[in-house]
């Protein structure tokens, strides 16, 4: 289904009945990342998932955005569909950072929060940042003479080689830069709602220490560690994640 929110065409999906769960996906992903989770929870809850602008089937923003812009659109999406009140927000990766920012600033309100391998601690991997900056310089210097399409392909490979998602969606490169500058640790320390933090023990994208840090910052929180080498634990360890979420929500 599609709906126009803030002059942008937004693709979304609603499933189930009951108290509302809002699902926010990560960078370069879309709402279908939650298919398994939604199938497991739709008998007990109403689930709302949508493609953030620029991802999946949703129209990209007309200018560079940051977490605050995405938070405002999310609030307007909920309002447009008349879905309030939100019982819980589930955010994966950058969707977790978005949820933290939106809740801390009061743009969104919910009773509970689930963070799945949440991003938002931007100073935890200095070596990766240095490598990304180096790649940016090398990429510009070595590809300027190539056709645009080929240049983008090579730059994507270069950034991927150091674990950066900056060119996962080339049209959102400036939005990515603005987003990853927003560290949400101060926001996390303001949260009062009950929070479940789920991290994999060997996540290649978000280290376990980030989950531990969020656990320290959010007073009313609980940390659960899933044995997995995957960043997408809601897909690879669906049964474990669903069990933890169901127990937390009830």
Calculate what percentage of the chain has a pLDDT beyond 90: 77
Structure confidence by residue, pLDDT tens digits, 15-25: 999 999 999 99
Structure confidence by residue, pLDDT tens digits, 134-151: 434 444 444 444 455 545
pLDDT at 143: 44
Domains of the chain: 2-122+182-249 (3.40.50.1820), 126-172 (no CATH)
Confidence band of 247 (pLDDT split at 50, 70, 90): very high
Structure confidence by residue, pLDDT tens digits, 81-136: 999 899 999 999 999 999 999 999 999 999 999 999 999 998 755 444 444 444 34
Question: What is the full DSSP assignment across the chain?
Answer: -EEEETTEEEEEEEE--SEEEEEE--TT--GGGGHHHHHHHTTTEEEEEEPPTTSTTSPPPSS---HHHHHHHHHHHHHHTT-PPEEEEEEETHHHHHHHHHHHTTSS-EEEEEEES----TTS-HHHHHHHHHHHHHHHHHHTTS-HHHHHHHHHHHHHHTT--TTSSGGGHHHHHHHHT---HHHHTT--SEEEEEEETT-SSS-HHHHHHHHHH-TTEEEEEE--S-S-HHHHTHHHHHHHHHHHH-
pLDDT at 155: 47
């Amino acid at each position: 289904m599609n709906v126009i929110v803030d002059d942008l065409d937004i693709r979304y999906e609603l499933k189930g009945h009951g108290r509302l769960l809002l699902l926010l996906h990560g960078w370069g992903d879309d709402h279908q990342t939650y298919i398994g989770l939604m199938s497991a929870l739709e008998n007990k809850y109403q689930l709302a998932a949508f493609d953030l602008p620029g991802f999946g089937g949703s129209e990209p923003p007309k200018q560079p955005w940051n977490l605050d812009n995405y938070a405002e659109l999310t609030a307007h999406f909920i309002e447009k569909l008349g879905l309030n009140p939100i019982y819980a927000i589930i955010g994966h990766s950058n969707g977790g950072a978005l949820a933290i920012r939106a809740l801390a600033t009061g743009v969104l309100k919910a009773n509970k929060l689930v963070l799945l391998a949440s991003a938002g601690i931007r100073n935890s991997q200095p070596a990766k940042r240095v490598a990304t900056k180096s790649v940016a310089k090398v990429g510009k210097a070595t590809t300027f003479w190539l056709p645009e399409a080929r240049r983008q392909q090579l730059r994507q490979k270069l950034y991927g080689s150091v674990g950066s998602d900056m060119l996962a969606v080339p049209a959102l490169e400036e939005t990515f830069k603005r987003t990853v500058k927003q560290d949400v640790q101060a926001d996390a320390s303001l949260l009062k709602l009950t929070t479940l933090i789920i991290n994999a023990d060997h996540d290649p994208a978000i280290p376990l220490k980030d989950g531990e840090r969020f656990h320290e910052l959010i007073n009313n929180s609980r940390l659960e560690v899933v044995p997995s080498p995957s960043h997408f634990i809601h897909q690879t360890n669906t049964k474990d994640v669903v069990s933890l979420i169901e127990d937390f929500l009830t």
